């Protein structure tokens, strides 16, 4: 079987074109969307993500209001930065780059963000709205996965979906979004018994674990759609959770790493920022 390669660069370019058109309309109405990213410490991966987000903003015409704090920043210091961004009318979206240094309370930081600026979709209000099926800002990575599935015409209603990973960032919100799209959803994690057998039942298998190449052919039913959220830095470069070479011949469609979910996450962040700006301007 030759699988369809689900191309995140292609779909993210489509999302970007839509976002650009919305930015042009907002700018014409006198509103320039603004995104504040807070980076604490000097984790190289986080720095590289923040740099990419800054470049995305610059390319699209979103103003960046980034704050970088030292790794020994206090919770009070972080709270003050969040409060300042909450109170700045030029800032429509706020993202706290994770992971935070261990001495800082990520729950407190995320909950402090004004929910109307929660473009990461991780505030309890945003997650609660997702749970209740109400409109709101959705977490970027799961929203990006949903958009890819939609663009490639993957049938979700009635499909058996297995999500590996239960983080608030990816696994849980994605499981909820798939449920909302009428999948029958199983959410797996490190305590799941006989993960392989559970995964082999999936029409749609999503891996968000963070273990390079862990998902081999034995986890995949013939004809399944396989989405690899994992991004793992190895000496050989960036790889996903899925052993692409082994799994691709079994799959009907599959995302590559890099070039799969990664670009979608960034595109959805820009899209969410523009949505927040439009809502703030009463234009959405
Ligand atoms: P977390 O570490 O927060 O969560 C990992 C999840 O995987 C946990 O639920 C954990 O289970 C589960 N897990 C770990 N080991 C196993 C195992 N052996 N078998 C089954 N489940 C296991 O990671 P994130 O959700 O933040 O990220 C997951 C991956 O996705 C990472 O590689 C990350 O880099 C990537 N990522 C990619 C993005 C993108 O844009 N493409 C965006 C965000 C993340 P338990 O809960 O029991 O510990």
DSSP string, 122-171: -SHHHHHHHHHT---PPPHHHHHHHHHHHHTT---TT-EEEEE---TTTH
Among positive and negative, which fits the CA dihedral 237, 235, 140, 82? negative
Tokens matching residue 225: 């759609």
Query: 224 — alpha (psi -120 to 50), left (phi > 0) or beta?
Result: beta
Please confirm, yes or no, whether 9 is among the known catalytic residues: no
Is the distance from the beta carbon of residue 257 to the nearest atom of ligand 1 less than 6 Å? no
How many Cα atoms are found within 13 Å in the side-chain-facing hemisphere of 241? 19
Q: What is the pLDDT of residue 1?
A: 77
Ligand 1 centroid to Cα of residue 208, in Å, is 4
Residue 195: CB atoms within 10 Å: 18
Phi, psi of 282, rounded to the nearest 5 degrees: 70, 25
Say if domain 31-115 classifies as CATH 3.40.50.10860: yes
Q: What is the pLDDT of residue 284?
A: 65
Q: Give the C-alpha separation, 134 to 160, whole Å.
A: 24
Ligand 1 centroid to Cα of residue 187, in Å, is 12
Ligand 1 centroid to Cα of residue 192, in Å, is 14
Is the distance from the beta carbon of residue 162 to the nearest atom of ligand 1 less than 6 Å? no
Domain spans in the chain, listed from the N-terminal domain onward = 31-115, 139-262
Is the distance from the beta carbon of residue 255 to the nearest atom of ligand 1 less than 6 Å? no
Q: List, run by run, the mean pLDDT of 10-residue segments along the chain (284 residues).
A: 95 98 96 98 93 96 96 98 98 97 97 98 98 97 98 98 98 98 98 98 98 98 98 94 98 98 97 98 79
Q: What is the pLDDT of residue 181?
A: 98
Q: What is the pTM of this model?
A: 0.97
Q: Whose CA is nearest to atom 4 of ligand 1?
A: 167
Q: What is the pLDDT of residue 36?
A: 98
Q: Which of 97, 114, 118, 125 is catalytic?
A: 97
Q: Give the C-alpha separation, 134 to 156, whole Å.
A: 20
> CATH homologous superfamily of domain 139-262?
NAD(P)-binding Rossmann-like Domain (3.40.50.720)
Q: What is the pLDDT of residue 144?
A: 98
**What atom of ligand 1 comes closest to residue 164's alpha carbon?**
21
Is the distance from the beta carbon of residue 146 to the nearest atom of ligand 1 less than 6 Å? no
Tokens matching residue 53: 């987000």
Q: What is the pLDDT of residue 186?
A: 98
Write the CA distances from 265 to 165, 182, 233, 270, 282, integer angstroms: 17, 23, 18, 9, 25
């Amino acid at each position: 079987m030759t699988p369809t390669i689900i191309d995140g660069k292609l779909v993210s370019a489509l999302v970007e074109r839509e976002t650009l058109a919305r930015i042009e309309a907002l700018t014409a109405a006198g509103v320039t969307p603004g995104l504040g990213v807070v980076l604490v410490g000097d984790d190289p991966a986080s720095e590289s993500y923040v740099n990419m987000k800054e470049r995305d903003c610059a390319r699209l015409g979103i103003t960046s209001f980034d704050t970088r704090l030292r790794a020994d920043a206090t919770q009070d210091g972080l709270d003050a930065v969040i409060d300042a961004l909450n109170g700045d009318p030029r800032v429509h979206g706020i993202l706290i780059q994770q992971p935070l240094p261990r001495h800082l309370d990520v729950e407190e930081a995320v909950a402090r963000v004004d929910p109307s600026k929660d473009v990461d979709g991780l505030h309890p209000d945003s997650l609660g709205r997702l749970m209740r099926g109400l409109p709101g800002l959705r977490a970027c990575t799961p929203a990006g996965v949903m958009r890819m599935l939609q663009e490639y015409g993957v049938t979700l209603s009635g499909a058996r979906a297995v999500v590996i990973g239960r983080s608030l960032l990816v696994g849980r919100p994605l499981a909820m979004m798939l449920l909302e799209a009428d999948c029958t959803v199983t959410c797996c994690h490190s305590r799941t018994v006989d993960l392989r057998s559970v995964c082999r039942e999936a029409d749609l298998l999503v891996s968000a674990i963070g273990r390079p190449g862990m998902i081999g052919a034995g986890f995949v039913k013939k004809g399944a759609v396989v989405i690899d959220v994992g991004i793992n830095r190895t000496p050989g470069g960036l790889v996903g959770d899925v052993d692409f070479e082994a799994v691709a011949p079994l799959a009907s469609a599959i995302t590559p790493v890099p070039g799969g979910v990664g670009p979608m996450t960034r595109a959805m962040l820009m899209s969410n920022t523009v949505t927040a700006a439009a809502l703030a301007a009463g234009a959405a």
